[in-house]
């Protein structure tokens, strides 16, 4: 539960948008409570810190499987939490209730045998940062909620667009 207090400051599944406390982009690394609990590795000036809490209660009535912080030049660039894809619909419903409809940035993904399916991606731009929820976060069984600055988010979306072949991107 300690790791979730760090990223989400949640005690119950009835949290609201004001309690969604993924560190804001630009937060100095030293101000992120509990960063010492993360396993951090620095390469090319960027630090990726991963926390694997295992099964722990989280927001929206789901379980957070792990968390990630990307730190660039001593400041948070991206913060994310990951959870089982089966909980995505309920997490998305909660985010929509708290943050509004959000922008639809869904995309087509290509599976191993060439079949395609939709990756539902919703985006909310708030106070200089971008919150986004992704149904398939790098794996078919994992979803995520992330927070980044607008420039990093837009760069990520451009990189994804460049990876598409015939309208679909490999998962």
- For all residues of the chain together, what is the average pLDDT? 76
Domain, as residue range, for 149: 2-170
- The angle formed by the CA atoms of residues 28, 45 and 133, to the nearest 5 degrees, is 65
Whole-number Å distance between alpha carbons of 129 and 24: 7
Domain count, the chain: 1
Whole-number Å distance between alpha carbons of 79 and 3: 13
- 0.85 exceeded by the pTM? no
Quick one: which of 74, 163, 169 has its CA closest to 119?
169
pLDDT in the model for residue 166: 66
3-class secondary structure, 94: helix
pLDDT in tens, 90-140: 889 988 988 899 999 888 777 767 677 788 889 999 888 999 999 988 888
Average pLDDT of 33-60?
Answer: 71
Predicted confidence band of residue 60 (pLDDT cuts 50, 70, 90): low
């Amino acid at each position: 539960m300690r790791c979730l207090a760090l990223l989400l400051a949640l005690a119950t599944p009835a949290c609201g948008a004001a309690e969604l406390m993924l560190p804001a982009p630009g937060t100095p690394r030293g101000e992120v409570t509990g960063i010492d609990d993360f396993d951090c590795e620095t390469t090319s000036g960027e630090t990726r810190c991963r926390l694997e809490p295992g099964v722990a209660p989280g927001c929206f009535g789901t379980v957070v499987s792990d968390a990630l912080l990307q730190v660039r030049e001593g400041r948070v660039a991206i913060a994310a939490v990951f959870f089982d894809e089966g909980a995505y619909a309920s997490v998305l419903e909660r985010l929509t209730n708290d943050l509004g409809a959000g922008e639809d940035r869904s995309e087509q993904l290509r599976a191993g045998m060439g079949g395609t399916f939709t990756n539902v991606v919703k985006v909310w731009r708030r106070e200089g940062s971008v919150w986004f929820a992704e149904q398939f976060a790098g794996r078919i069984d994992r979803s995520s909620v992330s927070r980044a600055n607008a420039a990093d988010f837009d760069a990520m979306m451009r990189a994804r667009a460049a990876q598409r072949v015939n309208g679909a991107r490999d998962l």
